[in-house]
Structure 1
Amino acid sequence: MTLQKTGFFSCPTQVRFGVNAIDGLRDILGDGGWRNVLCVVDPALVDSKIMTRIAAVAEAAGVTLTQFSEIDPEPKDKSVVAGAALCQTQKSEAIIALGGGSAIDVAKTIGILATNGGVVADLEGVDRFSIAPLPLIAIPSTAGTGSEVSGAAVITDTARNVKMAIRHARFGPAMHAILDPLAISTVPAHVAVHAGVDAFVHAFESYLSKLANPWSDAVNLHAMRLISENIRPYVANRENTQAALGMQNGSALAALSFGTTGLGNVHCMAMVLGSRYPVPHGLANAVCLPHAARFNLIANPARFGDVARVMGMNVRGVPEREAAQMGLDAIGTLCDDLSVPKRLRDLDVTEDSLDTMAKHAFQLNYNRWNPRHTTEADFISMFRSAY
């Protein structure tokens, strides 16, 4: 941890979690007094059990629910524009988001446009809007992005073909989040892997960040513990409610702090990779993780030893460098156990694109947070190692 004169940590979202936590939606709707609510739902969940429960709870609360499901796996500005138009037509007073990070990020951005106006591209950056968005109730269907509690949304600008980050520490997070194992019980195994590793990387990179602080440390260490303990049984059986709830809580905890600490080289590489190739964000993180972690090890070996400990390794009495290597090995074993592809070439990435991706990764300037200063040449080396 870098010693700082001042720091901050906040969690504006009220989180409900547990089996049948979805039933708490009725109290939320009742307390809000809303009558027209837009439900932004992942198209794969339109006819799901959890969507049926949401509709029933809304009906019992006297709420008119309008569904919007025009969402791509990687959220795009066109979806936001279409959803915002429907929101205006229906005079929606609040939004429910059911889905993974894509659905929640689209819902966040719709809510911002509904109260602030303008166009999506105007929102790129930090604190680019000043009016609170429509109230958002986020119900994640994956245990990965943590978008339900984070202050960020990532939307693809289709005109420029780049991913825009929209951040606001106060107005960015959802007002309410509901973590119910029912919502993630039907996730395909490969999606569970990608989302779960993404959540682990959030906690891992936030813990290594140059802006880490005592509050973020506590959250991230427990998040890594929860995820590493539960991801294997959850991937093996998504109806394992204990493992599912552990993953949901770990994912949400991991997302609480990276808005404060920033992330690192893994996410930097994954963002560039996902912009150039049709590779899901979580999968891109998973493939890049071991290589970026190895590069960062020398920057803070003590923290890698902490990672080893929370991942179940016995590091008592082990020299610092050896304990750090155990942390790196534990990460590699986790990826192996989850059958994460080992190489970028396995994702149909071509070798001639590596130098260009390295250039773009360097330009993103994650050196602000990454524990080890990283040059363009370093990114070339990491991408080639991953290739």
Structure 2
Amino acid sequence: MGAMAEQVYGFFMPTTSLLGNGAVKEIGNQAKVLGGTKALIVTDIGLVKLGMVDTLKGYLEQAGLQVAVFDGVEPNPTDVNVRDCLKVWQDNSCDLLVTFGGGSSHDCGKGMAIMATSGGDIRDWAGIDTLQANLPPYISINTTAGTASEMTRFAVVTNTDTHVKMVFCDARLTADVAINDPALMVGLPPALTAATGMDALTHAIEAYVTTLLSNPITDAVALQAISLIGKWLRKAVANGADMEARDAMAYAEYLAGMAFNSAGLGIVHSMAHQPGSLLGKPHGVCNAICLPVVCEFNLMANAEKYAKVAEGLGEDISGLSVMEAAEKAVAAIRRLSKDVGIPSGLAEIGVTEKDIPIMAENALNDMCTLFNPRNVKVEDIIELYKKAL
């Protein structure tokens, strides 16, 4: 055997992760361990109206903490949104961050915490490993089985001047405690369950096929996430109160987060970020629509791994060539998307052909493009958007 080239892999995780039915009830103890005295819950108005924020507040108050709430999180949070959140943090002299919700709540809270600790404006810190200081003590609580933002070192915030999503990647953005309690996900509507589930599938597949940073650990968790989603997402969409399905999807999204947090993503995300920031379209839906189109484009770069994706999604690949097996992955993704009610194309959610040139340019410059297994030019991305329309 020839000598192996030197390669060092990073693996990034929260210090503490709590998963399973009832996990959220541990928040008071965890807050005390972190030394918090005044918590800021960063969340959205929907969770306030459902009474879920009051329940969470109760757990923290029982543990002796004072609690302030910022409930102004927007879908696809912006720099303005993050600055508004910072004002509430400072006005209440908070010392513990609690983000509660899906990816938007976690991203808004992380963005706020960047400014609270590194100073300056959120726009100063976009990029990789730019932060100047650790975040305040930070607990993230997830209510969707999708983004994995509760446990990753990433945050995404839209720049309101350029309408481009700024990506922040830094180990300091990782929560001290990440909580995934499937009981919090029971009320999620079918369409949101589907979109967030397909988001998690995109994370797992993109992290698995990237040739740059994937490693034996990320491969193992990505494959497990793919097979869990293939088995359980339809059931979670069909019956939101199916606790076994909810629990399996909570694990799947977490495993997918473990994978991409260390291995990176690809051009599905680069493409999906653009309708989100430019037109305010839902991230999970954009990912789901772009995923099979991009997989088809990428097949030749890593057919062996796409064949494994097909297997993970329940396809029988015995007797097939590697390329035939890889193609089955694309068909399986399309079938799953259709079954859970994902729109058939970007046009259906309001993206038009005239949006494509600027979106393609921005997608090419998106950080996620670095990790795509196949080299890509702006012309390729334009073609992919046209196919995804």
Same fold, TM-score > 0.5, yes or no: yes
The match for 2:192 is: 191
Structure 2 unaligned segments of length 5 or more: list them.
none
The match for 2:328 is: 326
Cα 1:367–1:18 shift into 2, 3 Å: closer
8 Å contact 2:140–2:179 — kept in the other structure? yes
The match for 1:58 is: 60
Structure 1 unaligned segments of length 5 or more: list them.
none
- Which one of 37, 40, 52 corresponds to residue 38 of structure 1? 40
Deviation at 1:65, TM superposition (A): 0.9
Q: What is the one-letter code of the residue matched to 2:295?
A: A
- Give the count of matched residue pairs: 385
2:94 pairs with 1:77:
no
Secondary structure at the counterpart of residue 77 of structure 2 = coil
Cα 1:355–1:264 shift into 2, 3 Å: same
- Which one of 341, 344, 349 corresponds to residue 342 of structure 1? 344
- Which one of 348, 353, 356 corresponds to residue 355 of structure 2? 353
Deviation at 1:366, TM superposition (A): 4.6
2:283 pairs with 1:281:
yes
Distance 2:62 2:185 in 1: 24
Q: What is the one-letter code of the residue matched to 1:233?
A: K
Deviation at 1:4, TM superposition (A): 5.8
The match for 1:173 is: 174
- 1:152-211 deviations in Å (ceiling 9; x for gaps): 110112133221111102x11111111111211111211111111111101100101012
TM-score, with structure 1 as normaliser:
0.95
Q: What is the one-letter code of the residue matched to 1:158?
A: T
Q: What is the one-letter code of the residue matched to 2:335?
A: T
Deviation at 1:363, TM superposition (A): 3.2
8 Å contact 1:113–1:133 — kept in the other structure? no
Distance 1:66 1:366 in 2: 35
8 Å contact 2:270–2:369 — kept in the other structure? no
1:244-283 matched pairs, under 5 angstroms: 244-283=246-285
Distance 1:273 1:148 in 2: 23
Higher alpha-carbon deviation: 361-370 or 235-244? 361-370
Deviation at 1:214, TM superposition (A): 0.8
Structure 1 stretches (4+) deviating beyond 6 angstroms? none
Distance 1:148 1:366 in 2: 19
8 Å contact 1:297–1:324 — kept in the other structure? yes
1:1-387 matched pairs, under 5 angstroms: 5-169=7-171, 171-211=172-212, 212-364=214-366, 366-387=368-389
Q: What is the one-letter code of the residue matched to 1:343?
A: G
Distance 2:105 2:279 in 1: 21
Cα root mean square deviation, aligned: 1.7
Identity of aligned residues (%): 34
8 Å contact 2:209–2:305 — kept in the other structure? yes
Q: What is the one-letter code of the residue matched to 1:189?
A: P
- 1:334-367 deviations in Å (ceiling 9; x for gaps): 1111121112221222222223322332233655
TM-score, with structure 2 as normaliser:
0.94
Cα 1:152–1:278 shift into 2, 3 Å: same
- 1:98-128 deviations in Å (ceiling 9; x for gaps): 1111111111122222222211111111122
